[in-house]
Structure 1
Amino acid sequence: MGISIIGLGEVGRCYAQALRTAGLALEDAVESRPSSPALSLVREEGIRLHDSNGPWLSRSDIVISAVTGEVALSVARSAFPFLSPGAVYADFTTARPDDMRLAAKEAQDRGILFVDVAIMGGITLAGAQTPLLCAGDGAERLAEALAPLGGRIRVLADGAPGDAVTLKLLRSIFVKGMEALAVECLTLAQSAGLKAKLYDNLVDVDEAHLPDFLDMLVRTHVIHAARRLHEVESAEAQLEAAGFSPLVTAGVKATFDRSRKAVEGRVIKPDITVAEALEILIDSARTDLESKPAA
């Protein structure tokens, strides 16, 4: 089984090294402007280096694209004419979901199997052991081929190209949002000498089942948005009084204010479902977006 890699940045080099270490047949790589680490890698491992995609790709059963997201679609289009029908094209980039879907459609038209691969973590820390989330008609074949690397590969059941990268971006919103919130909250807690007591006060959150907790937050959000907005305003004032700039809390306040306006005049049932609550919130977010003047 022949494997090629397009792009020898950090991700490309990581997987190139892991594939060679695992004894897999990585023979070709593409990099138009190879860095010193890339040049060292291809010399040490005996990998043929090309400056662009070409007919040599026809001997590859699997092609891994590890370029940047903004050029992922154009790179895929330049590779597809050279791939043999039945080959797997695995896009490891953080491309736009629409670009993933478009590339997958064009691959399908040529009989090429496409995989949207989301790297779910920091490649610098775990290397090829970093969990991968895969979607597309070539996902199972890719997972089987990369199994010798020892990483955790999850194939999305009924997942379509674009789903994996969308989930990665959604996870990023959640985790990076939590990170920013933790920074804002803990700086005040530490300065007030209350960090340990704050953790004690969050024990109910720690013990909650995360999906149930998130559903509860969304469902009760539309019921109590106005009252909770006042709590957020008080928290913002406390941060400002302590000399901190409440960047995250300001965004939280804006979200609660938008929700307050969305439910104003509505009769909200105490037993509103998560789906019903989300429909209200989706409508308010879209209205807010569409009301903004074009850039």
Structure 2
Amino acid sequence: MTTQIAMIGFGEAATAFVSGWALDDPARITAFDVKSTMPTQMAAMAAKQAGLGVTGAPDLAQALADADLVFCLITADRAAEAAEAAAASGALKPGALWLDGNSCAPETKRQAAIAITGAGAHYIDMAIMAPVHPKKHLVPIKLAAAKADAAAVALASLGMQPEVVGDQVGDASTIKMLRSVMIKGLEALVAECFLSARRAGVEQQVIASLEASDPDIAWRTRGAYNIERMVVHGARRAAEMREVAKTVAGLGLSPGLSQATAAWQDIVAATHADPGDDDLIGRLDRVLARL
């Protein structure tokens, strides 16, 4: 594998991909994360990058230098800004594929695409359709753009399994955004229902009623998982849901539920509660203690 890869953002998705690829020459991957510029976090980020054998870059331009594939895996609220910064840096290789895997509204991705294509690279709307763990690089991915087929070939060479869903930027992200109405919305419903029930002292009765009504759902397990996801990733999920609300509003519909979901994601994430073990009641108590 001779392709030079740049990772913009080196969080959960980026590390999952790199560890899944298990390349013989991981030094061909250069990574830049904004945490590398923060005195309190740069050492930990450098250790994470070194642990996977990738080359850490001190800034965006050095990460982009000579990269054929650029994976932008940051947060939804910074995706367009990152694309514009990359274009302005002058370091994007002509013809490089910019794979925007951030959970953004189609409008946001089209804004980012203008910057990338203006710099002579090719913008790819990439939607990551499920949690990256445990599947890592085998997580379902949808691609859309004029060069989506070329991007699919490049990802397949890394052992990934992308699906091309359209030739227009936004074709993939629309699917991702509307799926998130349900997935992240269920998390918010679980939080509001279970936290309220626990505070009222009726959680056992509420759970029993849910189990009787919907026996196919393991409510205790689902609830514990959803609370853990919100505690650990709620800030990122809130940013995504604001993009979801933008998508729904752009379709001429009310985004009220998506806006409320973003609010709940922010609330739970802001507690910085310890997810602890897999026990639902323990997780609810730790979150409630910080509300």
TM-score by length of 1: 0.58
The 10-residue stretch of structure 1 (116-125 or 13-22) with the greater mean CA deviation from structure 2: 13-22
Following the alignment from structure 1 to structure 2, what is the Cα–Cα distance between the partners of residues 18 and 195? 37
Q: Give the alignment of 1:193-232 within 5 angstroms.
A: none
Which structure carries more relative contact order (alpha carbon 8 Å, separation 6+)? 2
**In structure 2, C-alpha distance between the alignment counterparts of 1:195 and 1:64, rounded to whole Å:** 42
How many angstroms apart in 2 are the aligned matches of 1:85 and 1:117?
20
C-alpha distance in 2 between matches for 1:67 and 1:130:
17
Offset of residue 102 of structure 1: 1.1
Matches within 5 A, 1:252-267: none
Please state how far the C-alpha of 1:108 moved relative to its aligned partner: 2.1
Q: What is the one-letter code of the residue matched to 1:17? A: S
CA 175–119 in structure 1, closer or farther in 2 if over 3 Å, else same: same
1:103 paired residue among 112, 124, 128: 112
Which one of 131, 138, 158 corresponds to residue 129 of structure 1? 138
- Structure 1 unaligned regions, length at least 5: 201-281, 289-295
Q: Is the 8 A contact 2:6 2:63 kept in 1?
A: no
Q: CA 1:148 to 1:166, structure 2 compared with 1: closer, same or farther past 3 Å?
A: same
How do 1:76-225 and structure 2 match up within 5 A? 76-80=83-87, 81-158=90-167, 160-177=168-185, 191=208
User: Percent identity among equivalent residues?
Assistant: 28
Task: State the TM-score, normalized to the length of structure 2.
Answer: 0.58
Aligned to 1:18: 20
Aligned length: 206
1:52 aligns with 2:59: yes
How big is each residue's C-alpha offset from its partner over 1:232-288, in whole Å with a ceiling of 9 and x where there is no partner? xxxxxxxxxxxxxxxxxxxxxxxxxxxxxxxxxxxxxxxxxxxxxxxxxx87x46x9
Whole-angstrom distance in 1 between the partners of 2:150 and 2:170: 18
Cα contact 2:7–2:63 (8 A) shared by 1: no
8 Å CA contact retained: 1:3, 1:25: no
Q: Does the 8 A contact of 1:14 with 1:127 survive in 2?
A: yes
- Structure 2: tracts of 5 or more residues without a match: 194-203, 217-250, 257-291
In the TM superposition, what whole-angstrom CA distance separates every residue of 1:161-180 from its partner, at most 9, and x where no partner exists?
22322211101223445677
Larger deviation: 6-15 or 36-45?
36-45
Change beyond 3 A, Cα 1:124–1:55: closer
Larger Cα Rg: Structure 1 or Structure 2?
1
